[in-house]
Structure 1
Amino acid sequence: MSTTQTGPTLDELRRAYRAAARGDYRAGADNAPQRAGTERRWDPAEPVTVVAGCHGGAGASILAAAVATVHPGASRVVEGRAAAASGFCAAATAELGQSATGWIAGARGDVRLERGSGLCLHPDDVTLPDPAPDGTALTVLDLSWDPRVLAHATGWLTSALLAARSPVLVTTATMPGMRHLEAVLHALPQDHEAVAVVRGGHRSRRWPTPVEQQTGPRARDLRQAGRVVTVPTEPQLAITGLDSSALPGSVLAAAAHVLALAYPAGRTSTTTTTTQESNR
């Protein structure tokens, strides 16, 4: 007697999709290679400032580049996302090539930009960064993954986020943006002294009432402590994104404030910063 073979159920398809996202699609699950990012912890010699977007399109890559720009010493930005989604594809003024470990380096004036070259379906697939060049005084780590996802991962990106005493969290001055910020703050250890960067922030002392109403208790605590930095909307950046052009003075000024809060040893004057950027 023959039997009729049916296709996979919806639940089976969902489980298969989640397994593929975890990397379990590799032949021989028991013999599957360890995820690249879980091999060992990242232990850079230089100080690190961690920047994370609370949601897609928050502007974390722009802020990370600005923070590296305003730092008075040699600095680099490491981007922890897949190459296809990189926010730095058009940001470099010169390309420096690809390392043996797959990191693509570029230069943006005095700032070194490093982005991955592979496809990463999970944050634990991101390979460890290359050691910083000699003389690097600060690495700005653009996490490039939702911190709520990283809180449940195990790789070096997660370790870097959890080890950061003052992570920089970037969001937008919208109702969804404030909800995302509060959710991210709840996903992080309570002893973190985060810095919240609110893009599109209003210059007036109070935000629009709907935005204020969506500001949760932890975000209000940061605001009360003076750890919320607003960045006004820049029309040109809204169109072009991060490219090789000089960053606007308003963004650099906000980045200098962020640097002073997240990394007090790296504070510098806005005047010097703006001059450095305009000379590149």
Structure 2
Amino acid sequence: MSTRSPSRPVGVDELKRAWHALNAGEFRTRTGAGRGPRGRGAAAAEDNWSPVHGEHTIAVLGSAGSVGASTVALATGLAAAAPVRVIECCSVTTSGLAAASTAELGLHQRDWRQGKRDHVLLERASEVLAGVDEVPPPIEAQNETQLTILDIGWEAGQLLATDCWLAEAVRAADQIVLVTTATVPGMRRAGVAMDLLSPWQPEQIALAVRGPRRKKWPRGLEHAGGPAVHRALVAERCVEIPVDRELAVNGLDSRPVPAPLISAARRLLEPAQRPTDTSEGA
């Protein structure tokens, strides 16, 4: 009588993952792998990424969850001229762009799910990611002049404390956009994030504040974020992001992004489009 245990049914999703792993060469044994599913964490941590020649990067971070960072990232892409792509770097479980594409392009072998929205290429993670070091490196840009917007999707402290390509990409970005809300907690969190980011490029951090116009902010709000936020406001490195009630309820989907939001996001492109001034900050 046979003592072999009954075989376990294999699902279609598992077969697809095995096929992609085979094509990518991930069937080879890795030492030290295993921090993430199928060793993904160790594999991603070993990979480096840097923009190609002519590629400009904007890193968009939220000071907290649900402040509208993905909306600002997409609106900035829509306000820019092609070629432009928005790479959402968070886990599939926290995606804000899952319904934003108007055309799905399928799953790339580098584990990025691709879609299109007007002239913007959208790339988002296809799997659950347990940490920043599990985010796969981006697909190499195919255009000589490429704007790449990184929708970070992780808390600034967690990001900068992790040795990974994404943390280095934020530090080296042509511009950092920190998204927050026109509230006291929002400003406080923005202040903490700006203090963490300031050692690298304080003059290239723009503040995108979702809420009413600045002249209608409550008294004392401008000082709630501390010196870093106050310096950004004084230097006019602040863009007011209008609140759209329908968008706030429904989130990003295939419906048009409100024109006032795209107009506001266009102002975020101005620093990134200027030639680099090597004398700045000297």
Same fold (TM over 0.5): yes
Q: Distance in 2 between matches of 1:153 and 1:172?
A: 26
Work out whether 1:253 is the aligned partner of 2:260: no
Work out whether 1:223 is the aligned partner of 2:233: yes
2:172 to 163, 171, 189: 163
What letter matches 2:66 in structure 1?
G
Q: Normalised by the size of structure 1, how large is the TM-score?
A: 0.79
What is the aligned partner in structure 2 of residue 68 from structure 1?
Answer: 77
| Native 8 Å contact 1:76 1:113 kept in 2 | yes
What is the aligned partner in structure 1 of residue 160 from structure 2?
Answer: 151
The 3-state SS of whatever aligns with 1:35 is helix
Q: How high is the sequence identity, in percent, across the aligned residues?
A: 36
Work out whether 1:180 is the aligned partner of 2:189: yes
Alpha-carbon shift at residue 215 of structure 1 (Å): 2.8
| Native 8 Å contact 1:167 1:192 kept in 2 | no
Q: Distance in 1 between matches of 2:75 and 2:245?
A: 17
Q: Normalised by the size of structure 2, how large is the TM-score?
A: 0.79
What letter matches 1:42 in structure 2?
W
The 3-state SS of whatever aligns with 2:97 is coil
Work out whether 1:54 is the aligned partner of 2:82: no
Q: Distance in 2 between matches of 1:136 and 1:95?
A: 24
What is the aligned partner in structure 2 of residue 116 from structure 1?
Answer: 125
Alpha-carbon shift at residue 132 of structure 1 (Å): 2.4
The 3-state SS of whatever aligns with 1:167 is strand
The 3-state SS of whatever aligns with 2:171 is helix
What is the aligned partner in structure 2 of residue 130 from structure 1?
Answer: 139
Alpha-carbon shift at residue 187 of structure 1 (Å): 0.8
Work out whether 1:196 is the aligned partner of 2:227: no
1:38 to 17, 42, 45: 45
Distance 1:91 1:135, change over 3 A: farther
Segments of 5+ residues of structure 2 without an aligned counterpart are: 1-30, 276-282
Q: Distance in 2 between matches of 1:105 and 1:160?
A: 21
Q: Which whole-Å deviations, capped at 9, do the CAs of 1:159-180 have from their partners, x for residues lacking one?
A: 1111125210000011110011
Work out whether 1:243 is the aligned partner of 2:253: yes
Alpha-carbon shift at residue 39 of structure 1 (Å): 1.5
Q: Distance in 2 between matches of 1:31 and 1:44?
A: 27
| Native 8 Å contact 2:97 2:252 kept in 1 | yes
Alpha-carbon shift at residue 136 of structure 1 (Å): 5.6
Q: Which whole-Å deviations, capped at 9, do the CAs of 1:41-60 have from their partners, x for residues lacking one?
A: 21221211111111000111
2:221 to 203, 207, 211: 211
| Native 8 Å contact 2:61 2:151 kept in 1 | yes
Instruction: Name the count of aligned residue pairs.
Output: 237
CA RMSD, 1 decimal: 2.0
Alignment of 1:60-99 (within 5 A): 60-99=69-108
Which is further off, 110-119 or 135-144?
Answer: 135-144
What letter matches 2:159 in structure 1?
L
Distance 1:30 1:128, change over 3 A: closer
Alpha-carbon shift at residue 206 of structure 1 (Å): 5.2
Which is further off, 115-124 or 40-49?
Answer: 40-49
| Native 8 Å contact 2:84 2:119 kept in 1 | yes
Q: Distance in 1 between matches of 2:264 and 2:43?
A: 35
The 3-state SS of whatever aligns with 1:209 is coil
Distance 1:204 1:141, change over 3 A: closer
| Native 8 Å contact 2:92 2:128 kept in 1 | yes
